[in-house]
Amino acid sequence: MYYQIKNTLTECSAEDIDNRKIPYVANISLEEFEEKKDLFDMGIDLDLEAETEVEDVTAIQVNYDSLTGCFAIPDFTSIESPPHTFLFAIDERGIVILDDDGTAQSILSRIQASKRWKFPSLERFLYDFLEGIVTGDLITLEKYEKEMDSMEDRILAGDLTGIMERLVDIRSELLDLRTHYEQLIDLGQELEENENAFFSSKNLRFFRLFIERAERLQSNVTALREHTMQVRDLYHSQLEVKQNRNMSFLTIIATIFTPLTLITGWYGMNFTHMPELDSPYAYPIVGVVCLTIVVTCLIILKKKKWF
């Protein structure tokens, strides 16, 4: 797909992008770029094989006549899955996006449907495109926050099932997101630097706006990682409480049965001359004594608030 950046993102033909007064956007496949790279006249020989070896990294490189790089956008349905990646090349006339999986096209379609520019420019388009990459991220981060709040409620209710395993996954996913935002910040700063003077000085503010947006998202991720530490501490605290309760229960059982064990051991000795053996009331009396000991122990332990 080929577009011109007018008051809206307007579809055009490949030949129309040769108009040097109107900045353009080309979203094409790697194969098509090889066939038509002379049309873009960026003064570079983009090494596709070398570029495609870079995985999971959003990065930008400053060349003499262009800016080239790669976007790696996390799949928020499964953060641990490989990100959506596509290459790009920028000069003062426009941007070429080399996208084979449709991720960039979905962003372009949203821009085309929703954006109207009073003062269209390549810089404004790039801002909206970068914004399109992080659109909805805040909602995703809020879902993490709500999930951890739910974990805290479950922990306080005594339900520790699967908490630690999920918490480890969340920390790993948040680390990936923090790295993603760091890379976007670096990319935005490189664009703002404007080393090749491709962009108008008055429009560099768009890149600053995006950098600040990415920094806020990164701060949210950092806060969420700190929240995971709090949830982990709460988990270990409740686990210790649960273990202490178990130990207290075992201590109570041992305290109650210690005198009973003494009695049974005493009467289990093989002596013939024990007066209690000849009494018909001896066995019931010993039983009552044992029961009295148990009840007495329970009352004492209850008063001491052992259970």
Answer for the pair 116, 93: CB distance below 8 angstroms, yes or no: no
pTM listed for this prediction: 0.75
* Residue extent(s) of CATH 3.30.460.20 domains in the chain: 1-135
Written as six digits, the tokens of 296 are 């007495």
CA distance 259 to 61: 81
Handedness of CA 210, 213, 215, 218 (dihedral sign): negative
Each as own residue / partner, the long-range contacts of residues 205-208 (CB below 8 Å, 24 or more positions apart, any chain) are 206/123, 206/124, 206/126, 206/127, 207/123, 207/126, 207/127
127: left (phi over 0), alpha (psi -120 to 50) or beta: alpha
3.30.450.20, 3.30.460.20, 3.90.105.10, 1.25.40.10: CATH of 1-135: 3.30.460.20
pLDDT tens string 215-262:
999 999 999 999 999 888 888 887 776 766 667 677 777 777 777 776
Question: So what's the pLDDT on residue 236?
Answer: 80
**Which residues in the chain land under pLDDT 70?**
19-20, 42-55, 79-80, 241, 243-246, 248, 262, 266-278, 282-283, 301, 304-307
Question: So what's the pLDDT on residue 142?
Answer: 93
Question: So what's the pLDDT on residue 83?
Answer: 84
Question: So what's the pLDDT on residue 297?
Answer: 76
Written as six digits, the tokens of 216 are 């806020």
136: left (phi over 0), alpha (psi -120 to 50) or beta: left
Element (H, E) at 72: strand 67-73
List CB contacts of 30: < 8 A, sequence separation 6 or more. 48, 52, 87, 98, 100
Q: How many contiguous H segments (helices) and E segments (strands) does the chain have? A: 8, 7
Q: What one-character-per-residue DSSP string does 89-117 give?
A: EE-SSEEEEE-SSSHHHHHHHHHHHH---
CA distance 17 to 265: 100
Question: So what's the pLDDT on residue 187?
Answer: 93
* Residue extent(s) of CATH 1.20.58.340 domains in the chain: 244-303
Answer for the pair 183, 59: CB distance below 8 angstroms, yes or no: yes
**What CATH number labels 244-303?**
1.20.58.340
